[in-house]
Structure 1
Amino acid sequence: MTASTPLTDTPHPALQWSDALVLDMPVMDETHQEFVELLAEVVHAPDDLLLPRWSTLIAHTQDHFDREDQWMQDTGFAAGNCHATQHKIILQVMREGEARGHSGELAVVRQMARELGLWFPQHAQSMDASLALHLRSAGYDPATGTMAQPERLPQAQIHGCGGVTCSDTATA
């Protein structure tokens, strides 16, 4: 395969939306479905559209992560929690890929797209699922930022991802 070959006929198909990615939090699920669709557009992009589609995915991912990070901040997560840190690292790597793509290294962007397709389900089914459960337990409405049951939030800041396997102070 050459760097100019789109990945439509490779043994690494694009990530597809499925019920396994549904977290029963509509605003999060809609954003995740958009991410999956934009990632598929990158994976299947011809060379002339690869970088514009990658840039669109980065902008979407920035907004996506910013919203989740705000929800975490609103509901008792420490600023440096592992979920937000992972967001920061993923965006940093995506931007590095964009720079390398602009220098002609399209294969790097294509590899990153494949890797995102492997990373995202694990992230969604662990960290995001824990966050969704945490938000529901406090009655947090992501659309308005209001909380129906703030007394259900932990007294100490959450430093892990919000799941019981990641933090002793988690509520999930």
Structure 2
Amino acid sequence: MLLGHAPIDDAHEEFVEVVMALRECTQQTAWVRLQAVEAHLLSHFATEHEWMKKTDFPAMECHLDEHQKVLDAVQQVNALAAVGDVGLTDVRRLAQALIDWFPGHADYMDSALSAWVNKKLHGGAPVVLRRDLRVETPAATL
């Protein structure tokens, strides 16, 4: 899910880390990990919002609406957890919903934002170099 804009790529890596930690939480660690997901989303989404405003991103409202829906869901689970109305199954269901949501959001919305920001700030499209890809070459013909 590398998009070629280091701050976005770093935020995505952190997103994966906090959501995977939430998915693997126990009853004892669920509250702390829910808080970590919410804190990450608040920071991540605020940073993207600033980039959108700074660069006059054309799809800003649509992108922000999606962020708000995700944040609302996480905050709702956190509010219920604070009063003991959420079980471990619910927390893991939230983690899975975030896991299911993220690739599509990154592929469509965040990739467009990355391309836009790179064009505005650097005058070109983002480039992602991957060292771990193997390229199959056909056998030489005689």
When normalised by structure 1's length, the TM-score is 0.66
Larger radius of gyration: 2
The gaps in structure 1 that reach 5 residues or longer are 1-20, 140-147, 153-172
Q: Distance in 1 between matches of 2:60 and 2:5?
A: 24
Q: Distance in 1 between matches of 2:95 and 2:3?
A: 23
Structure 1 residue 105 corresponds to structure 2 residue 86: yes
1:56 aligned partner: 36
Give 1:60 shift.
Answer: 0.9
* CA shift digits 1:40-68 (9 cap, x unpaired): 11100111101111111110110000000
Aligned-residue offset at 1:80: 6.3
Q: Distance in 1 between matches of 2:60 and 2:115?
A: 20
Paired residues, what number? 122
Shift of 1:88: 1.2
**Alignment partner, residue 81 of structure 1:** 61
Aligned: 1:33 with 2:13 = yes
Equivalent residue for 1:129, pick from 100, 111, 118: 111
How many Å separate the matches in 2 of 1:130 and 1:59?
Answer: 24
Q: Aligned-pair distance for 1:101?
A: 2.1
* Structure 2 Cα separation of the partners of residues 104 and 97 of structure 1: 9
Cα distance per residue 1:5-42 (max 9 Å; x no partner) = xxxxxxxxxxxxxxxx1101111101110110111111
Task: Percent identity, please.
Answer: 29
Name the CA distance, whole Å, in 1 between partners of 2:50 and 2:37: 20
Q: Following the alignment from structure 2 to structure 1, what is the Cα–Cα distance between the partners of residues 59 and 102?
A: 22
Aligned to 2:129: none
Q: Shift of the alpha carbon at 1:105?
A: 1.4
Return the offset for 1:79: 9.3
Moved over 4 A (4+): none
The answer on 1:69 being equivalent to 2:49 is yes
Q: Please give the root-mean-square deviation of Cα atoms over the aligned residues, in Å.
A: 1.8
Task: Report the counterpart of residue 99 of structure 2 in structure 1.
Answer: 117
TM normalised by structure 2 equals: 0.79
Q: Which amino acid aligns with 1:30?
A: D
